Structure 1
Amino acid sequence: MLEWLHTEEIREVSGNSKYTATVSLGVMAAGFAGTLFIDGAPWVRFVQSGFEAGLVGGLADWFAVTALFRHPLGIPIPHTALLPKNRDKVSKAFVTTIQEDLLSKQSIMDKLSQVPLAAKLLRGAEEQLSTDSAQAGIRVLSDYVIRQVPLEKIAAYAEQELRRLIESTDMRRVLEKVLEQVYAKQYDEKAFDFVLDLAEKLVAKDEIRDRMGLMAVEALSHLKTNGLMQFALNAFVGFFNEEKLGTLIQQFMLNGIEGLRNEGNVNRQAVMRTLRHWLDQPDHQTRIASELEGWKDQLLTQWKLGEQLLGLLQRVQAQALEWVNTEDFASKYVQPFLSGIVRRLEEDPELMNKLELGLREQIARWIESNHHKIGGLIKENIDRFDDETLIALMEDKVGKDLQWIRVNGAICGFLIGLALAGIKLLA
């Protein structure tokens, strides 16, 4: 239906273009016919010769123009309807001219070489980033990409790599490295101070004081000696009750703890030397490393690394989806980030030159592999029309100029006829 309407429109325009040529031919015919019935005065024969020559010229040019597209008056005269008969040749010549001359590979590349493609693309992309449609598209695209992330595969791969890493870890070597850092950073000193703080808080409690006093009284009451020593012990127990003994022991221990906090304290130094000596013993390190190996095996078998990693990834994905779907995600984060990249690229002439060369190389490859499709596309569009529609289309595009050939033929014939009649009269 649309093709028929298009054909009718072309016919209407073509008909309008023929109007002037038809009028010129009609004028010549009317002039010639009118002079036939007028008395044969010299000026009549003079004008009649002009109209006669104009009519012959107009008819000859009408025949020539019509013969390009169809048989004149429907009569199959040889060497007429040239375009329909030679449609394949004309189409092939038309396609070849466009593909090889007007739109040749070199002409396209020469034209593109005059345009700074990389700069225009970057500038256009940056301008588009600020539009509402682009920002909405960024949110949709980001949401889609995040949802397509294969969490199960990533979790399985991460679990596999973590297991491989943990299983290949030499715990004896790890222990040696840890002890090196402990000694270098004096973490053992800090740990000892931490224990002293806990011990001080524990000893300073009233219930602990009373408990230590009760334990001391019970111990002394069960202590058996002979003679004077027993008498002195009983006197001491009778003088110091549970509270006094507990306070005495508590103060003694607090003083000892306070003394151990001093780095120059002999007892503290002895404790730290003993601790480090014990940790440096190969047998002890082997035993500790063995315990760590057991802990490592327990971690691999009981902790369910895959489930833990998958849960972590799912939480991260949910937070990422919530983030990218906020209204200001594109304008606040993506747009400034991409705009910054564009500005840095534009400020780097060397990088821009590489980008330009790379872009032109890719376009050249694309043109090289797809240039032949230009001819195919043109031929496909030409073959879409039947002969009548194609002729009407060509008449619409060039018919006006062709019709002026008819007008010029009639006018030139008229003038030539006048000239010949004048020559005849003079002769």
Structure 2
Amino acid sequence: MSKENIRKGANTALAVSGAGILAAFPFQNTFAGGLLFSACSAAVIGGLADSFAVSALFGEPLRIRWPSWMGTRIIAKNRDRLIKELVHMVEHELLTVDNIRLKLGELSFSSMARAYLEQGGEEELSRIAQKLVTEFVARADIKKLSADLEELLFNHADAISLSDLLADIAHWSIKHNYDSELIAFLAKQLQKAAQSTTFRAILEKLIHSAIKSYEGDKFRRRLLDYAAGLNSEFITDKIQQWLIQYLDKASKPVQYEHQLLRQQIQSLELRLRHDHDFRKKVEEGKLTAVKAIHQNKQLATLLEKLIISLQGQLTDSFITGETSVLYSKSRQWLAAWRSNESKQADFDQMIKQYVLRIIEQKHAIIGRTVEDGLNKFSEQQLIDLVKEKAGKDLQFIRLNGIVVGALIGCVIYLSTFWIGVK
């Protein structure tokens, strides 16, 4: 039943109740007439009272300027407070770090990755790996590279700055525009994943669980969500649309979002060169890794054989063809990953740790994003939004007021009728 049909039904019921008062008035001294008069009177009172309350949410009932203590124009008068409470609810009660951590634990990023690989992502990843590795190997001096790596890992790990090396790689990538290509590729693939029904189902489930956990048995919170039209489907639509639009912009080099991500890579290069605390963490991680692989004494020899094997096949058909060793090996590795639950679990854990670290660092952005989005709504737009999302239920309130009023009128009349019987 549509909102308009319910509104018409409530108006018709109110009109019928009014007509019932007039029809029953001359016969109110009889049992049937008194019962009908009492029921219709209570129905009209209940319906008008609820109609007044519903109208007071959005404006002045009957277009009369009522005293301020009457509580009219509730949404308009409380717009700023409503926005602040919604922002506080989302940031500090709904999407807190603990809630996100709890719900994130229920997600499976490895399942999403498998679904992506099955939908053509395996081929795309193989092609990008092919391009990067062949470009690197084609330009490398094999013996020097192998010897330098061996010396770096086993003899001079503490003397060579990994931070500077990574900064140089980042600088080289930026200079040759590889960072832009990588951002565009990742953004397009993430956009495909964000458009999938699997992603939407997971996101909606997360938001629904968070809303239910927040509301609990507290009526005021449910009423606030109800009046603002906040539900899992609405929030999921907004977040999914925003994410798809953002990733679409991020995939296009001319867009601000794409340039902002490039700036982040540039910022990483600067941090690697000038942030002493960050550099210290990188160097400590390097030493830990060196100790872990110190037992492999044949690393340089193995690297040399592998690079020679790849470099000997570097032809145009190898770089672009689908029969290349690198292409087939990458496909085999991805296929092996898809069948290895242990590696998938490690991947899932790594992604969750990274996401949580970002959320902990940037959690305040959630509140600012919600506030910016709500502030874009004018007073009338906010009223229209509530009418659109809650209008049907508000009309049911009017209809319920008429029905319940009629029943109460009957109960009161039946309870008092016998007093006047002689």
Greater RCO, CA 8 A, separation 6+: 1
Normalized against structure 1, the TM-score is what? 0.49
Q: Find the structure with the greater CA-based Rg.
A: 1
